[in-house]
Structure 1
Amino acid sequence: MNVMPHTAMPVISVEKLRVTAQSDQGDPINLVSDIRFTVQKGEVLALIGESGSGKTTIAMALMGYARHGCRIAEGNIHVAGVDVNSLSPQQLRAFRGNKVAYIAQSAAASFNPGMKIIDQVIEPVVIHGTLTRKAAKARAVALFRELALPNPDTIGDRWPHQVSGGQLQRLMTAMALIGDPDVVILDEPTTALDVTTQVEVLKAFRRVVAQRGVTAIYVSHDLAVVAQMADRILVLLRGQIAEYGTTERLIGAPQADYTRQLMNAAQQQARPSPWRAATRAAQQPLLEVRDLAAGYGPRGKDGQPKTRILEDIHLQLWRGQAIGIIGESGSGKTTLAHAIAGLNAPCNGHILFNGHYIAGDMHKRPDNELRRIQYVFQMADTALNPAHSVERILSRPLMLFHGLRGQALTQRLHQLLDLVKLPRSVLWRRPWALSGGQKQRVSLARALAAEPDLILCDEVTSALDTVVAAAVLDLIGELRRELGLSVLFISHDMHAVRAVCDQIVVMKSGRIVTQLAREDYDKPTSELYFERLKRAVPELRQGWLDEHEEILRAE
Structure 2
Amino acid sequence: MGASVQVQGLTIEAGGQTLVDRLSFHIQPGEVLALIGESGSGKTTTALALMGYARHGCSITGGSVRIGETDVLHLSPAGQRALRGRRVAYIAQSAAASFNPSRTVMDQVVEPACIHRLMPRAEAEVKAVQLFRELALPDPEHIGDRYPHQVSGGQLQRLMAAMALIADPDLVILDEPTTALDVTTQIEVLRAFRRVVRDRKATAVYVSHDLAVVAQMADHILVLRNGVMQELAPTGQLLEAPAADYTRSLLAAARPVPRGGGAMSADGQLLLEVRGLCAGYGPLDAQGKPAKPILEDIDLKLYRGQAIGVIGESGSGKTTLARAVAGLVAPSAGHILFNGRYLKPTVAQRTQEELRQVQIVFQMADTALNPSHPIERILARPLQFYKGLRGAALQKRIHELLDLVKLPRSVVGRLPGGLSGGQKQRVNLARALAADPDLILCDEVTSALDTVVGAAVLDLIADLRRELGVSYLFISHDLHTVKAVCDEIVVMQHGRKLAQVARADFDRGDHHPYYQLLERSVPELRRGWLDEMHPAPVANAAAHAASL
Structure 1 counterpart of 2:467, which letter? E
Aligned residue for 1:359? 344
Aligned residue for 1:17? 10
Match for residue 362 of structure 2 among 351, 365, 377: 377
Aligned residue for 2:67? 79
User: Is 1:48 aligned to 2:36, yes or no?
Assistant: yes
User: Is 1:38 aligned to 2:23, yes or no?
Assistant: no
User: Is contact 2:12–2:61 with CA below 8 Å preserved after alignment?
Assistant: yes
SS of the residue corresponding to residue 464 of structure 1 reads: coil
SS of the residue corresponding to residue 228 of structure 1 reads: helix
**Gapped runs of 5+ residues in structure 2?**
541-548
| Comparing 471-480 and 175-184, the one that deviates more | 175-184
User: Is 1:105 aligned to 2:73, yes or no?
Assistant: no
**Alignment partners' CA distance in 2, 1:73 and 1:425:** 25
Match for residue 190 of structure 2 among 198, 202, 212: 202
Counterparts of residues 151-550 of structure 1 (less than 5 Å): 151-271=139-259, 273-278=260-265, 280-283=266-269, 285-300=270-285, 302-406=287-391, 408-410=393-395, 412-422=397-407, 424-523=409-508, 525-549=510-534
**Alignment partners' CA distance in 2, 1:367 and 1:193:** 35
Match for residue 67 of structure 1 among 49, 55, 71: 55
Structure 2 counterpart of 1:254, which letter? P
Structure 2 counterpart of 1:469, which letter? G
User: Is contact 2:184–2:538 with CA below 8 Å preserved after alignment?
Assistant: no
Q: CA RMSD in A?
A: 2.2
Cα drift, residue 366 of structure 1: 1.2
Cα drift, residue 505 of structure 1: 0.8
| Comparing 421-430 and 257-266, the one that deviates more | 421-430
**Alignment partners' CA distance in 2, 1:554 and 1:469:** 30
User: Is contact 1:10–1:38 with CA below 8 Å preserved after alignment?
Assistant: no
Deviations 1:92-115, CA, capped at 9 Å, x for gaps: 222222212111111111111111
- Sort the Cα spacing of 1:414 and 1:156 in 2 relative to 1 into closer, same or farther, 3 A: closer
User: Is contact 1:372–1:453 with CA below 8 Å preserved after alignment?
Assistant: yes
Identity across aligned pairs (percent)? 64
Cα drift, residue 299 of structure 1: 3.5
User: Is 1:58 aligned to 2:46, yes or no?
Assistant: yes
Cα drift, residue 300 of structure 1: 4.2
Cα drift, residue 82 of structure 1: 1.6
Aligned residue for 1:129? 117
Cα drift, residue 414 of structure 1: 5.0
User: Is contact 1:187–1:219 with CA below 8 Å preserved after alignment?
Assistant: yes
Cα drift, residue 554 of structure 1: 12
User: Is contact 1:228–1:542 with CA below 8 Å preserved after alignment?
Assistant: yes
Structure 2 counterpart of 1:356, which letter? R
**Alignment partners' CA distance in 2, 1:459 and 1:553:** 21
**Alignment partners' CA distance in 1, 2:96 and 2:466:** 38
Cα drift, residue 435 of structure 1: 4.4
Structure 2 counterpart of 1:265, which letter? A
**Alignment partners' CA distance in 2, 1:112 and 1:414:** 39
Cα drift, residue 398 of structure 1: 3.1
Kindly tell me the number of residue pairs found equivalent between the two proteins. Answer: 539
Cα drift, residue 372 of structure 1: 1.1
Structure 2 counterpart of 1:340, which letter? V
Cα drift, residue 553 of structure 1: 10
- Sort the Cα spacing of 1:220 and 1:409 in 2 relative to 1 into closer, same or farther, 3 A: closer
Cα drift, residue 368 of structure 1: 1.6
SS of the residue corresponding to residue 308 of structure 2 reads: strand
**Alignment partners' CA distance in 2, 1:554 and 1:150:** 12
**Alignment partners' CA distance in 2, 1:532 and 1:230:** 25
Instruction: Give the TM-score taking structure 2 as reference length.
Output: 0.93
SS of the residue corresponding to residue 50 of structure 1 reads: coil
Structure 2 counterpart of 1:274, which letter? G
Deviations 1:253-274, CA, capped at 9 Å, x for gaps: 1111111111011012122x42
**Gapped runs of 5+ residues in structure 1?**
1-8
User: Is contact 1:80–1:99 with CA below 8 Å preserved after alignment?
Assistant: no
| Comparing 69-78 and 312-321, the one that deviates more | 69-78
- Sort the Cα spacing of 1:371 and 1:223 in 2 relative to 1 into closer, same or farther, 3 A: same
SS of the residue corresponding to residue 508 of structure 2 reads: coil
Structure 1 counterpart of 2:343, which letter? I
Cα drift, residue 530 of structure 1: 1.5
SS of the residue corresponding to residue 316 of structure 1 reads: strand
SS of the residue corresponding to residue 84 of structure 2 reads: helix
| Comparing 216-225 and 515-524, the one that deviates more | 515-524
Instruction: Give the TM-score taking structure 1 as reference length.
Output: 0.92
- Sort the Cα spacing of 1:321 and 1:211 in 2 relative to 1 into closer, same or farther, 3 A: same
**Alignment partners' CA distance in 2, 1:95 and 1:427:** 38
Cα drift, residue 186 of structure 1: 0.6
Cα drift, residue 142 of structure 1: 1.0
